[in-house]
Amino acid sequence: MTTISSNPAETTALRFDLLTVAEFIQPKEKVLDLGCGDGALLRYLIDRKGVKGRGVELSEEGVLACVRRGVSVRQGNLQEGLGDYPDHSFDTVILSFTIPYINDPAFIIGEMLRVGSRAIVSFPNWGNWRCRLSFLFTGRMPVAAELPQAWDSAPRARPLTVRDFEEFCLRHRIRIARKISLQGAQRIAAQLGENMRSTTAIFELR
């Protein structure tokens, strides 16, 4: 575990999807952020909501960025990194834009719901109409609007859609407590073609 003392709060400009994830979090919660990247979300939650936050991040670059922000972070692979946490040790476990890179999402989400009371999962939606048209007219693998990387870039993402994830939760008996669909920096109404229109999906799981 890498930790340094927290410095005075810095103003952190968050992506709109991360600001939306932050709305799920109540003050003073214990929060674990998996694949926390540069720690921007955790820093925001610590500064604005007084949470007790920890992160798990694989990349050395991300770990160093977390340390610079004064965020408690552990470097490691998610497949191996949750076994050390006891049951119900966090209020919320976050997996933001990381699920496309996970080999065994059922295992990871199961672990998230073991160590936390709930899980927040967000991902870019390849079911968006732009992705569909791109594939139709170019014959090439589409690039998600919120995750602009080529198919052969490392680490390689596995495309998924809102419908894919809903069916995944149904198969694994995971309850979807709440869902928010975003189109860029706007929310779109549930059940109004969200798989076709949304660029980002955010799920609260229980």
Asked whether residue 47 is assigned to any structural domain, the reply reads: yes
Look at residue 11 and tell me if it is in a domain.
Answer: no
Which of 131, 124, 132, 117 has its CA nearest to residue 175?
A: 117
Taking each helix axis from N to C end, the angle separating 40-49 and 60-69, rounded to the nearest 10 degrees, works out to 20
How many domains, in total, are found in the chain?
A: 1
Instruction: For residue 176, count other CB atoms closer than 10 A to its CB.
Output: 14
Residue 2 lies in a domain: no
pTM reported for the whole predicted model? 0.88
Domain membership of residue 54 (yes or no) is: yes
**Rounded Cα–Cα distance for residues 77 and 81 (Å):** 6
List 181's β-bridge partners, or say none. 188, 201
At which residue do the structure tokens 């991360």 appear? 18
Structure token pair of residue 7: 């410095």
Listed in sequence order, the residues at least 6 apart from 44 whose beta carbon sits closer than 8 Å to its beta carbon are 12, 14, 18, 22
Element at 116 (helix H, strand E) = strand 116-124
Q: Is residue 9 part of a domain?
A: no
Note whether residue 25 is domain-resident.
yes
Q: Is residue 4 part of a domain?
A: no
Domain hosting residue 107, numbered range: 16-146+157-205
In a domain, 151, yes or no: no
How would you write the pLDDT of the chain (206 residues) with one tens digit per residue?
A: 444 334 434 445 789 999 999 999 999 999 999 999 999 999 999 999 999 999 999 999 999 999 999 999 999 888 776 888 999 999 999 999 999 999 899 999 999 999 999 999 999 999 998 889 988 899 888 888 888 787 788 788 899 999 999 999 999 999 999 999 999 889 987 667 888 999 999 999 99
CA-to-CA separations, 48 to 40, 60, 111, 142, in angstroms, rounded: 12, 26, 27, 37
The CATH number of whichever domain residue 32 belongs to comes to 3.40.50.150
Helix axes 40-49, 16-23, angle to 10 degrees: 40
Q: What single letter denotes the amino acid at residue 96?
A: S
